[in-house]
Structure 1
Amino acid sequence: MTEALAWATQRIDAASDSPRQDAEILLAHQLGLSRGQLFTRLRETLRLSDAEAFEELVARRVNQQPVAYLTGEKGFWTLTLKVSPAVLVPRPETELLVEWGLEILGEQKSRIADLGTGSGAIALALASERPEAEVIATDASPAALAVARANAADLGLERVQFRQGHWSEPLQGEVFDLIVSNPPYIRAGDEHLPALRHEPLSALTDGADGLQCLREIVATAPALLRPGGWLLLEHGYDQGEAVRGLLRQAGMADIATRRDLGGQERATGARQP
């Protein structure tokens, strides 16, 4: 197996920032092992059927298909989530919204909305940490909601409600303590989009300047927040100033931006006065 991993790492190198890790995850997946178990069996010889299947997985990774789509799952927060090409692969940067949201909520009973939930990552992470919270997640895509509901069932979080609709449309007339969203924010023509071609385009870009969805959410969310409620948004590394401006125009207070582990502005939030 050592030789197979070395070969795969070399093949994947041009398509990934973490070729060795990708190779290990894919081989472990093919063999039905954890990465830890894989390391204890590296001196063993691969069966021909496993070697051929592993080669196919590597070829798909070289074609820039996300590892999570190849294995069908992705770790997020403390959860393991099912993923498919119907949903965006959850990113570690998005955990910033979960961490910030938990700080705001404290231990009080609360109502939370996740707009554009995709795989359900944010909603399910918050629900797992706050059992008393009422969590409602929306998405315009029936296929994405099917993935999110499956994740909720697998995790024993069926109490999370999923509603089909555009951003906050399914929530009209309701009031929340916290609204979170990781909307499409990559601008059309961005140089990074080709490398993300296997993920749903509608979850990545608004087809315009990358701020269209953020504008819409900021315009509609304040009416759904109780006084003192918070809106937290993920955005692009260069969009912090623009999002702060949108929140100021909406009359929100205590506007703040947090940086991701790479030091980039990644999430901005504000309180409803």
Structure 2
Amino acid sequence: MMTIAEALLQAHQLIHSETPKLDVELLLAEILGRDRTYLYTWSERPLTDEQAELFNNWFNRRLAGEPVAHILQHRGFWTFELEVTPDTLIPRPDTELLVEIGLELLSGIEEAPRILDLGTGTGAIALALASELSRAQVLATDVMPGAVALAERNRQKLGCDNVEIRRSDWWSEVDGNFHLIVSNPPYIAQDDPHLVQGDLRFEPRSALVAQEDGLADIRQIITGAPTYLVQGGWLLLEHGWQQAEAVRELLRERGFSAIFSRKDCGGNERVSGGRWL
């Protein structure tokens, strides 16, 4: 019978993963219904036949490159777990920077803030902001029906009654004015080699790739945002690690002020924003 320790040793086979040890720990913890500390405290305990069969199935899927989040069908973001499907991007820790900055920018507003999350995917950004700002009214949109359905399931699971999920192709079904507009849009160029590597192979191209060297959707958002911002409102965008200068220039050309960029946990400029006055 396979023990927990023997299963953990298989991590060395995941040569194409950046986090092989963590991957195996997450799979085992899910199967056993325990936390990761348990795996090392009781490492000599055997898996049941059913547990071993499930582990081998999941491990082989990960060996083939399928993301752990797709195998487990959930991923942690901010302070909660989100359902994840192949219809959307897997929420990433760097995107939490959008939430952190958004909360900072809204901290001085006395009235109930109105927030728009464009291209919401799983609903991660909108739900994180709504969970921290109970008075806020949040509109989250996405063009893909599968993403809209997924975000709505996550909204219901978390009980965020101050969030509305709506299908919209960027600005097509948006109305009203907002104190904060946030977005993590597609920003990878079509010929980027990373698209055929790692977990990105399993994620929807429509949520990853944009024309104009990855800037087309960012440009569309920046162009339209002033129509939907209150005076003094903010626009925040996640972008590629080499795009900050180009995004700042687009914001400047459109007439935004107080333009800035902020670095992610890897030291790369990942979020840029500006204020509409």
TM-score range with shorter-chain normalisation?
Answer: over 0.9
Deviation of 1:41 after TM superposition, in Å, equals: 2.5
Report the counterpart of residue 263 of structure 1 in structure 2. 267
Aligned residues: 270
SS of equivalent residue, structure 1 residue 21: helix
State the 1:207 CA deviation: 4.7
Match for residue 121 of structure 1? 124
Deviation at 1:42, TM superposition (A): 1.5
Alpha-carbon separation, structure 1, partners of 2:146 and 2:229 = 28
Q: Which amino acid aligns with 2:136?
A: A
User: Deviations along 1:105-157, whole A, 9 cap, x unmatched?
Assistant: 01632100000000000000000000000000000011111111111111111
1:165 aligns with 2:168: yes
SS at match of 1:127: helix
C-alpha distance after superposition, 1:11-43 (max 9, x if no partner): 21x221110010000111122222233333311
| Contact preservation (8 Å) 2:75, 2:90 | yes
1:138 match: 141
1:51 aligns with 2:60: no
Q: For residue 129 of structure 1, what is the amino acid of its counterpart?
A: E
What SS does the corresponding residue of 2:213 show, helix, strand or coil? coil
**Which residue is equivalent to 1:192?**
194
Match of residue 110 from structure 1: 113
Query: Letter of the aligned partner of 2:5 in structure 1?
Result: T
Can you give the 5+ residue segments of structure 2 that lack an aligned partner in the other structure? none
Question: Counterpart amino acid of 2:206?
Answer: S
In structure 2, the partner of 1:68 is 69
Separation of aligned partners in 1, 2:244 and 2:96? 17
Kept in 1: contact 2:264–2:270 (CA 8 A): yes
| CA spacing shift, 1:34–1:86, aligned 2, 3 Å | same
User: What residue in structure 1 maps to residue 85 of structure 2?
Assistant: 84
Write the distance in 1 (CA, Å) between the matches of 2:247 and 2:117.
18
Identity %: 49
Gaps of 5+ in 1: none
Letter of the 2:222 counterpart: V
| Residues 1:221 and 2:222 aligned together | no
- Greater displacement, 254-263 / 149-158: 149-158
TM-score normalized by the length of structure 1: 0.96
